[in-house]
């Protein structure tokens, strides 16, 4: 009986370890569009989810882990695209669906590459949601650090801007 229990525990440990390793080596966050203002103080990073569970953004920092002045997520549609702005509340910006980071999860299948393909094919619709992390900072942004989780596993993604 003890031998069967040990075999079960060993198989369970190998399965969990394999799943964790697979998840860590295949992070679900997909980076698409990178756009910035001329002075690089306002940046949009298009993101998506190529995994099989929802992705939750936990934190966003810039440059050397500095706290940005403002951070929101744009939940727009593939036909509308993103806006680069330094004011989330002006009349033009409001229609781009700015949300607080803690209020949004990135749906499964929301991959920038699939939306780019739909745009190329002419099959994109207003129902195709796209997501972009919009960051405003008082200094030029040269990188955006995104901390997120999926299936209870934390990931870090760093996006460098030229």
Residue 96, C-beta contacts closer than 8 angstroms, at least 6 positions apart: 74, 76, 80, 82, 83
Burial of 86 (0-12, 13-18, 19+ CB in 10 A): middle
Distance, CA of 132 to CA of 120 (rounded, Å): 20
Distance, CA of 65 to CA of 51 (rounded, Å): 26
Q: Provide the pLDDT for residue 102.
A: 92
Q: What does the DSSP 8-state code read for residue 102?
A: G
Contact 107, 49 (CB under 8 A): yes
What domains does the chain contain, in order, with CATH numbers? 28-160 (2.60.40)
The helix or strand, by DSSP H or E, that contains position 22, with its residue range, turns out to be helix 2-25
Q: Provide the pLDDT for residue 27.
A: 81
Q: Provide the pLDDT for residue 128.
A: 77
pLDDT tens for the 162 residues of the chain, in order? 678 888 888 888 888 777 766 667 778 898 988 999 999 999 999 999 988 889 999 999 999 999 999 999 998 877 678 889 988 888 888 888 899 999 999 988 877 777 777 777 777 777 778 899 999 999 999 999 999 998 888 999 999 987
Distance, CA of 111 to CA of 137 (rounded, Å): 26
Q: Provide the pLDDT for residue 23.
A: 66
Q: Provide the pLDDT for residue 87.
A: 87
Q: Provide the pLDDT for residue 9.
A: 82
Q: Provide the pLDDT for residue 137.
A: 96
Please tell me the pTM assigned to this model.
0.83
Distance, CA of 122 to CA of 108 (rounded, Å): 22
């Amino acid at each position: 009986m003890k031998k069967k229990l040990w075999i079960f525990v060993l198989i369970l440990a190998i399965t969990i370890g394999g799943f964790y390793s697979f998840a860590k080596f295949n992070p679900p966050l997909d980076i698409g569009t990178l756009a910035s203002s001329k002075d690089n103080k306002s940046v949009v990073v298009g993101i998506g989810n190529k995994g099989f569970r929802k992705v939750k953004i936990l934190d966003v920092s810039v440059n050397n882990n500095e706290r940005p002045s403002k951070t929101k997520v744009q939940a727009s549609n593939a036909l509308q695209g993103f806006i680069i702005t330094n004011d989330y509340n002006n009349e033009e910006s409001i229609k781009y669906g700015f949300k607080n980071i803690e209020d949004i999860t990135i749906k499964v299948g929301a991959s920038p590459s699939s939306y780019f393909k739909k745009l190329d094919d002419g099959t994109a619709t207003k129902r195709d949601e796209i997501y972009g992390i919009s960051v405003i900072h008082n200094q030029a942004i040269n990188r955006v650090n995104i901390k997120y989780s999926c299936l209870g596993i934390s990931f870090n993604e760093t996006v460098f801007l030229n």
